[in-house]
Amino acid sequence: MPEHVVVIGGNSGMGRALAAELVAQGSEVTVAGRSPEKLAAVRRELGVHTVAMDLGSEADIERLFATTGKINHIVTTAADVAGAYQPIRTYDVAAARGAIDSKLLGPLLLAKHGAPFLEPNGSIVYTSGIAAYRPGPRASLLAALNGALASLAAALAVELAPLRVNVISPGWVDTPIWQDVAGPEAPQTLAAMASRLPAGRIGHPEDIAQAILLLLRNTYITGTVLHADGGHRLV
């Protein structure tokens, strides 16, 4: 039987790149996300299973794993972070609830409900980001959420062993989320960062997909944050 990987957020960006690579390698893939239109497109184009769900809903997470049955890996790249970018003096927590759900509470609930369905050599991979290590103005909550994922993964790697739990921490990656964060200035913003990075370029979704595959395949890695950031932490 081929391995079965669940990718939450696999209908676009980094998650879609991972789903495409897994399918190319012969894996069975279930993609979960909120957009029926995007799910229909990825199902048609990649031939994956799809499940419509909201990472902020515990009931949806329970239903997801009831649908999949036994699996080998869980990966979440889902992030609803547009409302997280706010100045701290006027912070509206309600507007940032999507970020809290998708970056912290949702990942915790994925472990709660997904771990019982994982095979003994299975794993969970969370997605944090460079904001935890190079925070900028208006990104205090996002920095805190990304940083918390490292601690969550370390704790769960102990509690759920021999299941493995790891974190991929991307740098700036050219994905549709930048249209929400930077708007029409996104191309110029990305180009300016590319000129600063030791790698000399912004990341592509495929770069992150390859890094996640390493975490899935190497059974000696657990409780670890893998940085795929073009050297952003160094500048």
- Tens of pLDDT, residue by residue, the chain (235 residues): 899 999 999 999 999 999 999 999 999 999 999 999 999 999 999 999 999 999 999 999 999 999 999 999 999 999 998 889 999 999 999 999 999 999 999 999 999 999 999 999 999 999 999 999 999 999 999 999 999 999 999 999 999 999 999 999 999 999 877 766 667 788 898 999 999 999 999 999 999 999 999 999 999 999 999 999 999 999 9
Count of structural domains within the chain:
1
Q: Does residue 235 form part of some domain?
A: no
Coil, strand or helix: which one is 165? strand
The two three-digit tokens of residue 74, written as one number = 């869980």
pLDDT value of position 193: 92
Q: How far apart are CA 194 and CA 223, in angstroms?
A: 30
Domain of residue 207, residue span: 4-226
Q: Does residue 222 form part of some domain?
A: yes
Q: Which residues, in sequence order, are CB contacts of 57 under 8 Å at separation 6+?
A: none
Q: 127 and 85 in contact (C-beta within 8 Å)?
A: no
pLDDT value of position 15: 97
Q: Does residue 102 form part of some domain?
A: yes
Q: Does residue 231 form part of some domain?
A: no
Q: How far apart are CA 163 and CA 79, in angstroms?
A: 24
Domain of residue 211, CATH code: 3.40.50.720
Q: Does residue 219 form part of some domain?
A: yes
Question: Looking at residue 178, what DSSP letter applies?
Answer: H
Cα dihedral 150, 102, 123, 47 in deg (nearest 10): -140
Q: 164 and 157 in contact (C-beta within 8 Å)?
A: yes
Q: 6 and 30 in contact (C-beta within 8 Å)?
A: yes
Q: Does residue 233 form part of some domain?
A: no
Angle between helices 140-159 and 106-114 (to 10 degrees): 20
Task: Mark residue 93 as left, alpha or beta (left: phi above 0; alpha: psi -120 to 50; beta: remaining).
Answer: alpha
Longest CA–CA span in the chain (Å) reads 54
pLDDT value of position 127: 98
Q: How far apart are CA 104 and CA 110, in angstroms?
A: 10
Q: Does residue 83 form part of some domain?
A: yes
Give Cα separations from 205 to 52, 101, 158, 212 (angstroms). 22, 23, 30, 11
Q: 113 and 155 in contact (C-beta within 8 Å)?
A: no
pLDDT value of position 8: 98
Give Cα separations from 48 to 11, 28, 40, 74, 107 (angstroms). 10, 7, 10, 15, 22
Rg of the chain over all Cα atoms, to the nearest angstrom: 17
pTM of the model: 0.96
Q: Does residue 232 form part of some domain?
A: no
Q: 104 and 78 in contact (C-beta within 8 Å)?
A: no
